[in-house]
């Protein structure tokens, strides 16, 4: 079973009352993935939160990040290059970016 995390808190204050901050299980073809919805967060928070999550994952684990910060594609490309992770996919649609990252094997 995969795990989805939607983050809506920043510096101890809620950003948006409609955001669900609870982890949600994912079933089906996406089982084994961890998905983080980081929309509404601006640089550097999406990368910092993804770094914390990927550090808790097993080698080869897949992290899917959803963000709407315009700097996110460049930030995650740099994050993967410097951390040895594989940026498997980076897709933009209507101002929302989805990055699929495989954690480094070593």
Question: Tens digits of per-residue pLDDT, 22-61?
Answer: 334 455 555 569 999 999 999 999 999 999 999 999 999 9
Kindly report the number of other CB atoms within 10 A of residue 104's CB atom: 14
Asked if pLDDT for residue 101 goes beyond 50, the answer is: yes
Whether residue 81 is contained in a domain is answered as yes
Whether residue 14 is contained in a domain is answered as no
Instruction: Calculate helix-pair angle for 45-55, 72-83, nearest 10 degrees.
Output: 40
Asked if pLDDT for residue 72 goes beyond 90, the answer is: yes
Whether residue 56 is contained in a domain is answered as yes
The helix, strand and coil proportions of the chain, stated in percent and rounded to the nearest 5, come to 25, 35, 40
Whether residue 29 is contained in a domain is answered as no
Whether residue 11 is contained in a domain is answered as no
Backbone angles phi, psi at 82, to 5 degrees: -75, -25
Catalytic residues, by residue number, are 43
Q: What pLDDT is attached to residue 106?
A: 74
Average pLDDT of the segment spanning 62-82? 98
Give me the domain span that covers residue 54: 47-61+76-86
Whether residue 95 is contained in a domain is answered as no
Structural domain count, the chain:
1
Give the DSSP letter of residue 43. T
Q: What is the pTM of this model?
A: 0.74
């Amino acid at each position: 079973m995969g795990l989805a995390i939607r983050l809506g808190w920043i510096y101890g204050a809620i950003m948006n009352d409609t955001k669900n901050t609870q982890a949600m299980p994912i079933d089906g073809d996406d089982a084994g993935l961890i998905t983080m919805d980081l929309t509404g967060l601006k640089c550097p928070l999406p990368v910092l939160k993804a770094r914390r999550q990927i550090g808790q994952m097993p080698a080869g684990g897949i992290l899917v990040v959803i963000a709407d910060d315009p700097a996110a594609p460049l930030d995650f490309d740099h994050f993967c290059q410097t951390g040895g992770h594989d940026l498997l996919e980076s897709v933009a649609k209507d101002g929302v970016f989805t990055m699929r990252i495989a954690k480094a094997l070593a």
